[in-house]
Chains A and B, each alone.
Chain A
Amino acid sequence: MAGEKKTATSVTGRDDDGTTLPGSAGLPRGGPIARHADSEAPAPRVTVNKAYKMYVGGAFVRSESGRYFQVRGSAVGHDTDPPTVNVPRASRKDVRDAVLVAHNAKVSWAARTPFNRGQILYRLAEVLESRSSELEASLVRGGTDADDAAAEVDASIDRAVFYAGMADKVSALVATHNPVSGPHFGFSIPEPMGVIGVIAPEKPTLLGLLSTVLPVVTTGNTAVALASELDPRTAILFCECLATSDFPGGVINVLTGHPFEVAPIMAKHREVTGIDAWLSDAELRTQVERLGADSVKRAKTHAPRDLEFWLGERQGQGIGWVEPFLETKTVWHPVGL
Chain B
Amino acid sequence: MTDPDRTDRAADRPSSDLMKRETAVEKARQKTAALALEFGKAWEYAPAPETPDHVKLEERYQLFIGGKWMPPKSGKYFDTVSPSTEQTLAQVAEGNAEDVDRAVKAARHAYDKYWGKMRGAERAKYVFRIARALQEKARELAIVETMDGGKPIKESRDVDIPLASAHFFYNAGWADKLDYAFHGRKVRPLGVAGQVIPWNFPLLMAAWKIAPAIACGNTVVLKPAETTPLTALLLAQIIEEAELPPGVVNIVTGAGETGAALVGHPDVNKVAFTGSTDVGKKIQRAIAGSGKRLTLELGGKAANIVFADAPLDQAVEGIVGGIYFNQGHVCCAGSRLLVEESVHDIVVRKLKDRMATLRLGDPLDKNTDVGAINSRAQLERIKELVLSGEREGAERFSAPCELPSKGFWFPPTFFTNASQSCRIAREEIFGPVLTIMTFRTPDEAIEKANNTMYGLSAGIWTDKGSKIFHVATRLQAGVIWANTYNKFDPSSPFGGYKESGFGREGGRQGLAAYLEVQ
Which residues between 485 and 508 of chain B lie within 8 Å of chain A, taking CB atoms?
487, 489, 491-495, 497-502, 504, 507-508
Question: Is B517 engaged at the interface, CB distance under 8 Å to the other chain?
Answer: yes
Would you call A293 and B497 a contact (CB within 8 A)? no
Would you call B499 and A180 a contact (CB within 8 A)? no
Which A residues are CB-close (under 8 A) to B378? none
Q: What is the distance, in angstroms, from B515's C-beta to the closest C-beta of chain A?
A: 12
Would you call A333 and B289 a contact (CB within 8 A)? no
Would you call A188 and B472 a contact (CB within 8 A)? no
Bitwise, A268-310 to B at CB < 8 A (1) or not (0) is 0000010000000011011101101111101001000000000
Query: Helix, strand, loop or mixed for chain B's interface?
Result: mixed
Would you call A333 and B478 a contact (CB within 8 A)? no
Would you call A180 and B489 a contact (CB within 8 A)? yes
Q: What is the distance, in angstroms, from B463's C-beta to the closest C-beta of chain A?
A: 12
Q: How far is the CA of A302 from the CA of B129 in the complex (A)?
A: 40
Known: A182-B487, A296-B298. A333 touches B482 (CB 8 A): yes
Question: Is A19 engaged at the interface, CB distance under 8 Å to the other chain?
Answer: no
Complex: chain A residue closest to B284, CB-CB: A293
Question: Is B239 engaged at the interface, CB distance under 8 Å to the other chain?
Answer: no
Would you call B280 and A330 a contact (CB within 8 A)? no
Q: How far is the CA of A301 from the CA of B287 in the complex (A)?
A: 13
Q: How far is the CA of A329 from the CA of B479 in the complex (A)?
A: 6
Which residues between 57 and 99 of chain B lie within 8 Å of chain A, taking CB atoms?
none
Residues of A in contact (CB 8 Å), total 39
Complex: chain A residue closest to B485, CB-CB: A332
Q: What is the distance, in angstroms, from B291's C-beta to the closest C-beta of chain A?
A: 9
Which A residues are CB-close (under 8 A) to B481? 331-332
Question: Is A337 engaged at the interface, CB distance under 8 Å to the other chain?
Answer: no
Q: What is the distance, in angstroms, from B455's C-beta to the closest C-beta of chain A?
A: 8
Would you call B480 and A296 a contact (CB within 8 A)? no
Would you call A332 and B493 a contact (CB within 8 A)? no
Q: How far is the CA of A323 from the CA of B183 in the complex (A)?
A: 13
Would you call A332 and B507 a contact (CB within 8 A)? no
Which A residues are CB-close (under 8 A) to B281? 293-294, 296
Would you call B507 and A333 a contact (CB within 8 A)? no
Which B residues are CB-close (under 8 A) to A329? 472, 477-480
Which A residues are CB-close (under 8 A) to B499? 295-296
Known: A186-B489, A330-B479, A332-B480. A285 touches B497 (CB 8 A): no
Question: Is B483 engaged at the interface, CB distance under 8 Å to the other chain?
Answer: yes
Which B residues are CB-close (under 8 A) to A188? 492-493, 504, 507, 509
Would you call B493 and A178 a contact (CB within 8 A)? yes
Q: State which of A180, A296, A333 has its C-beta within 8 Å of the C-beta of B483.
A: A333
B183, B285, B289, B494: most-surrounded residue (chain A CB, <10 A): B289
Residues of B in contact (CB 8 Å), total 44
Question: Is A181 engaged at the interface, CB distance under 8 Å to the other chain?
Answer: yes
Would you call B497 and A327 a contact (CB within 8 A)? yes
Would you call B489 and A178 a contact (CB within 8 A)? yes
Question: Is A36 engaged at the interface, CB distance under 8 Å to the other chain?
Answer: no
Q: State which of A180, A286, A295, A320 has its C-beta within 8 Å of the C-beta of B492.
A: A180
Q: What is the distance, in angstroms, from A325's C-beta to the closest C-beta of chain B?
A: 11
Question: Is A319 engaged at the interface, CB distance under 8 Å to the other chain?
Answer: yes
Bitwise, A149-169 to B at CB < 8 A (1) or not (0) is 000000000000000000000
Which A residues are CB-close (under 8 A) to B468? 333
Q: How far is the CA of A182 from the CA of B162 in the complex (A)?
A: 13
Q: How far is the CA of A323 from the CA of B504 in the complex (A)?
A: 12
Q: How far is the CA of A181 from the CA of B288 in the complex (A)?
A: 38
Which A residues are CB-close (under 8 A) to B479? 329-332
Q: How far is the CA of A287 from the CA of B512 in the complex (A)?
A: 25
Complex: chain A residue closest to B489, CB-CB: A180
Q: How far is the CA of A294 from the CA of B499 in the complex (A)?
A: 9
7 closest pairs, A vs B, by CB? A286-B289, A289-B288, A293-B284, A290-B288, A180-B489, A178-B492, A293-B285
25 A-B residue pairings within 8 Å (CB atoms) = A178-B489, A180-B489, A180-B492, A181-B489, A184-B484, A184-B487, A186-B487, A188-B509, A287-B288, A287-B289, A289-B288, A290-B289, A292-B288, A294-B285, A296-B280, A296-B498, A296-B500, A296-B502, A298-B502, A329-B472, A330-B494, A331-B481, A331-B482, A332-B481, A332-B482
Taking beta carbons and an 8 Å cutoff, which residues of A are in contact with B?
173-174, 176, 178-182, 184, 186, 188, 191, 193, 273, 282-283, 285-287, 289-290, 292-296, 298, 301, 319-320, 323, 327-334
